[in-house]
Structure 1
C-alpha cells in the first residue's frame, strides 16, 4: 500500500500491520496460532479479562535481564580502562517495591528523587546505603529522613542545600556522603523539556561556582565530598554529549584534587530507547564502551586517574519491558486535503489516554501500536489513536498504520510504555489509574492494583455515600454484538460494576 500523504515522513505503511517491529516491542511478545498476542507466555485477552483495560503490563524477566546487562556493560567497559562503574536505577522512570527488588537483585543501586520514592525503596527492603537521593528542592523533613536512615549519597543541588544536609548530618551524628550537581552547559539533542543541562534551568550549580561550593562542603565536619554529578538530558542516542560533559567536568575535577580526594564522577543517565521504527537506539554494550573510552581520554588529557564512574539509567532498563493494553471504543474516519487531493485518517478512540500516558501531550512523544486480540488481512490504514479525555490534545499515538478493519472491542497495545507512563499517571476527568501486572514464565500477577471510583471518592471529604452502585452492571441482553460476548462492564473488559477494575482481593498479597 502507498504511504498516506497525511503520515509523517518517517512512518511507512507496513507490509503486514500485524507484525511487531524488532527492537521496539518486548522480545517475549509473540502471537498464538489464533492471532492473539502473548507476552512472556501470557495471552493479552486473558490479561484484559482478569484485570481490565487500560492495563500496564511489565515483562519481569526482561527488566531483570536488562538490569544485569546494563550493569555488566558498564562494569566491563570501565574495567578495560582501569576503573570501575556503578549503576543506579533511576526510580522516577517506574518504581514499585517489586521493581526495586528486581533491579537491586540484579546488582543495581537506586536513585530516588523524593521522600515518597525513598519510602518505596525502603519498603522493598533496599539497603539505604545503596540509594542516591536527588532533587532540586528536598525538604528539611526529607533530608532528615534520608540522612537518618543512612542513605548512601545525597546529591546537593544548590549552595543553600550544603548547610541543610550538614545540619541533618550533625543532628544524627553521621558523616554524609554527598555529590554536587553541576550545569555543564552541554545540551543533548532532545526535546527542550527533556534537556536538563542548560545554564538557564533549575538543576545544579554553575561550573564557575563549583570550587567555592566544594570548599564549603569540605569545611563541614558532617559531609564527605565524593564527586561531581551532571545529567545532560533524556532519550539520548550516542555518546557525544556524554563525552563533552565529562571533559568539562574533569577539568574542574582535576583542580579539586588539590584539596582532597574526588573518588567518583556521576554522568547521569538518559540513554534512549526505540519507540518507533524511526528510532535507532545504540546497543548498551557499545554505548558503554564508547563512554568509557572518551572518559579515559579526557582523564589522560587532564592528567588524572579514571575515577569510579556512576550512571543513572531508568528508561533504558524498564521502557521496552512495558506495554499498555487498551480496548477500542469508537472509530471515526475524517477526510482532509493533502496537497490538493483528498486523504483519509481514521481516529481510533480507546478507553484511556493522557491520564495513563502523558508523554504525547507533554513532549509530542511518538509511540507504536498494534491490534493484539487478533490478526487481520485488511490493508493497513493511517490512524490516530485518541484517548477518551475531554481534551483535543488527548492523543495517544499521533500516527500509525493499523488494519483497516479495526473496530470497537478490539484490543490495542502500545509499545515501550514501561517508563514515564505509570509514574506520570493522573486521575484527570476522574479516571481511575490502571493496574500494573507483571508477567513471567506464563504467569501474571498484579503488582499495583487498579483504582476504583470508590478509591477516588474516598479522598473527597465531602463525599457522603459510596458510589459502588453508581454504574449498575450492564445486562448482556442490553449490549449488542461482540461486547455482549465479551461480558463487558463500563470501564473495559473485566471492569467492576463501579467502572473500576475487577479485583480478586483474596488473591492479593498483604
Structure 2
C-alpha cells in the first residue's frame, strides 16, 4: 500500500530534516511532547486561505461560516477577521462567538427547535438574521413581540426544497421528509412566506435552503439553486441563502469541488435563472476539515491470528464520533514516516469500553508500527472537536494552532476537575 496521499494533508505540512512531519513550521513531535495526545493540530494559514478563497468566490458579507463544524473563540475571531459572518445554531454558539469579540450583527441564528430563551437572546443581542424553521417558531416570535422584546428581527425562512443530496442519510437535510424547514412540495413554504409578510413581529428579508453535508456532486447544488431560484425570484426578497454542505476528500481516491468551483456553479446557476437577490452561502467543513489532523499515541497492538490486528490509540469515539455515526472513512499514518509504504491492514480503535469504538475499520499502516509511536489522522478539523464527548469521563483534547513555527494553544486539555465542574455533590 502506498504512502498517505499528500493532498489529504493541510497546505503547510512538510517533512523536517529529522524525518518528522511539521505543520505550519512546527514539529508534530514537539507539539505532542508539549501538549500531550490526543491533540488537534490546526494549520492556521490553511484556515485563513480557505476563508479568503470563499470571500473571493462569493464576495464580502456573502460567506457565513457554519460554526458547528468547529468553534472556539480563536476560530470565531479568525473567521470574522477574514471577512466571514458566522452561522450559529444555538445560544451557546452565539455566546462563544460574541465572547470572541464577534458582534451579534455578524451572526445568523439557525436551529429547528429554538427555545424562547434563545430567540430572546438573539433579538436582544441584535443578530443579523434569524433563520426561521417552523410555524411554532413564528408563534414564539409573535409572543416575544407582544412582550416588547425588540427590535423587530430580520428573518429568513428555511425552505425544504425536496432535493436529495448524495450523502449519508443522517446528514441529508433537503429531502421532503427532513426535520428542517418549511416544505416546498406540500405548500408550507408559500404559507410561511405569506404569514411572515403579513406579520408585524418579523421583517422577512429572504429565503434559505440547505440540502445536506459532505456533498460531492456539484449537480446537487445546481439543482437546489434552480429550485430555490424558481421559488425566490417571484418573491423579490433581498436575500437568498443557499446553505453549505460542500464535501472534502477524506480518503485516497476521493475528490471534491474546490470552494471556487462550488461558487462558480451556484452563482452561474443563479445568474442564468434571473436571481436579483444577494446570494450567500454557509460553508463549514470545506473551511475547517482539511486544516487539522489529530495526533494520537499508540498504546496497544494486538494481533489475533486469522482474524485481524488491532491498533489502539489514546483517543477514539470521544474525539471523533463520525466513523461510529456515519461509517466515515479516514486515513492514518505515522508522522515519523510520512512517505513509508503502509502494508499492514489493521483495525484502528480507541480506548473506550465499546466494541464499536472504531476510528478506521481497515487502516493502512507501516509494518514497523510500535507501541509509543505517534499516529496521525488527517482531515479531522470539522466535526471532531465540535462533536466530542466525555464518554468514560475521558477529558477532551486540546486544540493547537500552528503558523510560522509557532504552536499556539487555543483550547486547553480538560482536567479531571473540569469533569466535576457541574457535578453537585452531595
Per the alignment, residue 321 of structure 1 pairs with 291
**Aligned in 2, Cα 1:198/1:334: closer, same or farther, shift over 3 Å?**
same
Equivalent of 1:358 in 301, 321, 326:
321
SS for the counterpart of 2:98 is helix
**1:424-482 Cα shifts (integer Å, max 9, x gaps):** 0001111111111111110112111101222213433237xxxxxxxxxxxxxxxxxxx
TM-score by length of 1: 0.80
Is residue 54–residue 434 contact of structure 1 (8 Å, CA) maintained in 2?
A: yes
Q: State the 4+ residue runs in structure 1 displaced beyond 4 angstroms.
A: 374-379
Equivalent of 1:135 in 100, 111, 116:
111
Is residue 361–residue 393 contact of structure 1 (8 Å, CA) maintained in 2?
A: yes
1:284-299, aligned counterparts within 5 Å? 284-299=259-274
Report whether the alignment pairs 1:182 with 2:166.
no
What is the Cα deviation at residue 374 of structure 1? 4.7
1:76-95, aligned counterparts within 5 Å? 86-95=62-71
1:394-473, aligned counterparts within 5 Å? 394-462=357-425
**Aligned in 2, Cα 1:298/1:22: closer, same or farther, shift over 3 Å?**
farther
Report whether the alignment pairs 1:192 with 2:155.
no
CA distance in 2, matches of 1:291, 1:85: 16
Deviates more, 1:366-375 or 1:426-435: 366-375
**1:58-100 Cα shifts (integer Å, max 9, x gaps):** 111211121011111123xxxxxxxx87110000000111101
SS for the counterpart of 1:125 is coil
What is the Cα deviation at residue 377 of structure 1? 6.1
**Aligned in 2, Cα 1:33/1:265: closer, same or farther, shift over 3 Å?**
same
Q: How many residue pairs end up in the alignment?
A: 423
CA distance in 2, matches of 1:378, 1:276: 16
Per the alignment, residue 17 of structure 2 pairs with 33
TM-score by length of 2: 0.95
**Aligned in 2, Cα 1:177/1:201: closer, same or farther, shift over 3 Å?**
same
Per the alignment, residue 71 of structure 1 pairs with 55
CA distance in 2, matches of 1:127, 1:454: 32
What is the Cα deviation at residue 378 of structure 1? 7.1
Is residue 228–residue 253 contact of structure 1 (8 Å, CA) maintained in 2?
A: yes
CA distance in 2, matches of 1:435, 1:71: 29
What is the Cα deviation at residue 50 of structure 1? 1.0
Higher radius of gyration, 1 or 2: 1
Is residue 11–residue 43 contact of structure 2 (8 Å, CA) maintained in 1?
A: no
Is residue 12–residue 45 contact of structure 2 (8 Å, CA) maintained in 1?
A: no
Per the alignment, residue 266 of structure 1 pairs with 241
CA distance in 2, matches of 1:169, 1:23: 51
Equivalent of 1:159 in 120, 132, 135:
135
1:13-24, aligned counterparts within 5 Å? 13-14=1-2, 17=3, 20-24=4-8
Is residue 147–residue 168 contact of structure 1 (8 Å, CA) maintained in 2?
A: no
Per the alignment, residue 6 of structure 1 pairs with none
What is the Cα deviation at residue 172 of structure 1? 3.0
Per the alignment, residue 98 of structure 1 pairs with 74
Equivalent of 2:229 in 250, 262, 265:
250
CA distance in 2, matches of 1:379, 1:53: 22
Q: Structure 2: any 5+ residue segments left out of the alignment?
A: none
Is residue 147–residue 169 contact of structure 1 (8 Å, CA) maintained in 2?
A: no
Is residue 330–residue 350 contact of structure 1 (8 Å, CA) maintained in 2?
A: yes
Deviates more, 1:215-224 or 1:85-94: 215-224
Root-mean-square deviation (CA, aligned residues, Å) is 1.7
Report whether the alignment pairs 1:232 with 2:211.
yes
Q: Structure 1: any 5+ residue segments left out of the alignment?
A: 1-12, 76-83, 300-304, 337-343, 464-510
